[in-house]
Amino acid sequence: MLKLMAKLFFLLYVMLSAVAAAGADAVSEDGSVVAFVDGVPIRREQVYRLMATADKMYGALTVSLDPEEIEAKKRAAKRQILDNLIDEQILLNKIKEAGIVLTPEQQASAAREYLKKIDTLALNVRKSYPALSESELDKTIDSILKMSGVTREQIRKNIESAILKNALFDRVRLGITVAGEQLARAYYDELVDEQVSEFDGDISRYEQALLEDRVIVYRPADCRVIKQIYLQFDEDIIALINQFLTYDLTTDAEAIRADQHKRQNARVEEILRRLRQDRFETIMEEEKPGSGEEKNYICAGSRRFPPEYKDATLNIDEVGGLSAPIKLEYGTAILYLSDIIKSTGKIQFSDVREQVEKCALEELRDRKLEEAKTRWKNEAKTIIFEENLL
């Protein structure tokens, strides 16, 4: 049960990292006020409720830290939580001032997101306790949430608050529609310098930028665009191989791997036969989860791939060509050379102008939003009672 709780506390921390939004209202009238934000009180119980998970985390550090260090960390955590609550209340006040409310579509979206979060939590409980009845499962989830200092209603409010904040932010960001050529050119020049340094230092960073569909203004080397059909071993077999390797039983792991590759031979031959008449993408789609629509990018100097994979890629003679079957760690792959992106060095501004202007506009919008947040914070009348936080 303790292992389950530890895992679920981490899950809740990720799920509820912005839970301060839900904690900014619906609190009882008792408890000391630790701050006012434009007349709206923030109460000590809100801070302490959000400290629940942190308290458990610091409790686990009693072996490595002395009591004074732990108390210092707790005080810092309380102040950080209070600062977050203040920032959150400033945004909530701005949302109210702007008259922003959830639309019916947003309400439906929030409800779906709430159910998704609860279902994720329930799934993790079910993995450890599959025999729980529905009522027992609900009670267990409520117990875990209580131990983490949150409720289902707070999760719901947190989701709704996030949608409202995004609506507020969009009013600021989307009010800026043009970045201007001067800003776009400055952004382009900065991006060229950045990519020359990054890509020349490590060609794998260029491959990663292509994978992430970033704006490319510098092409340092020819790069092959690869699609693959990957016949992956069964998950149980992969787990067994890894278990043997964990205990340094390399010979046994390799024996299983060789046997699985042998078992795949007939299937590989059938796919090679089909490839004489069927589209590569059609078969690739059928052979998920190992295969998929995503491309991969491989340059001659790449260090991201096993040698046999990279060599097979570089040995494909022309676009549209196939590799021989490659025996990999957990399956067999057949590669297809979809395209070759030629090295051009620096790409001219005129060739990437539209993409660069979009990126420059997003950067300008983000900057204006941060400026607005700073202005709202400076304009807010905030009073903090440090003595009530202890």
Q: For residue range 340-389, what is the model confidence (pLDDT) as tens digits? A: 999 999 999 999 999 999 999 999 999 999 999 999 999 999 999 988 88
67 upstream amide cis, omega within 30 of 0: no
pLDDT of 22 strictly over 80: no
pLDDT of 290 strictly over 60: no
- 169 and 47 together in one domain: yes
Tokens in use for 347? Answer: 């790409």
Global pTM reads 0.69
- Give the pLDDT band (50/70/90) at residue 108: very high
- 158 and 263 together in one domain: no
- 10 and 113 together in one domain: yes
Distance, in Å, from the CA atom of 59 to the CA atom of 67, rounded to the nearest integer, reads 10
Domain-located, residue 11 = yes
pLDDT of 27 strictly over 50: no
Domain-located, residue 197 = no
HSE value, Cβ hemisphere, 13 Å, CA-based, for 48 = 11
Structure confidence at residue 73 (pLDDT): 84
Distance, in Å, from the CA atom of 327 to the CA atom of 338, rounded to the nearest integer, reads 21
- 232 and 134 together in one domain: no
The pLDDT of 258-283, averaged and rounded, is: 94
Structure confidence at residue 148 (pLDDT): 74
Domain-located, residue 361 = no
Distance, in Å, from the CA atom of 23 to the CA atom of 230, rounded to the nearest integer, reads 48
337 in Cβ contact with 265 (< 8 Å): no
Mean pLDDT of the chain: 88
Domain-located, residue 383 = no
Domain-located, residue 212 = no
Element (H, E) at 246: helix 235-246
Structure confidence at residue 291 (pLDDT): 53
Q: How many domains does the chain have?
A: 2
Structure confidence at residue 54 (pLDDT): 72
Q: 66 in helix, strand or coil? A: coil
The percent of residues above 90 in pLDDT, for the chain, comes to 72
Q: What is the CATH number of the domain that holds 232?
A: 3.10.50
Structure confidence at residue 257 (pLDDT): 96
- 249 and 160 together in one domain: no
- 231 and 165 together in one domain: no
Range of the domain at 275: 222-342
Last residue of a domain, one of 116, 143, 173: 173
- 237 and 120 together in one domain: no
Model confidence pLDDT, tens digit, residues 64-88: 677 888 888 888 889 999 999 999 9
Tokens in use for 249? Answer: 């039983």
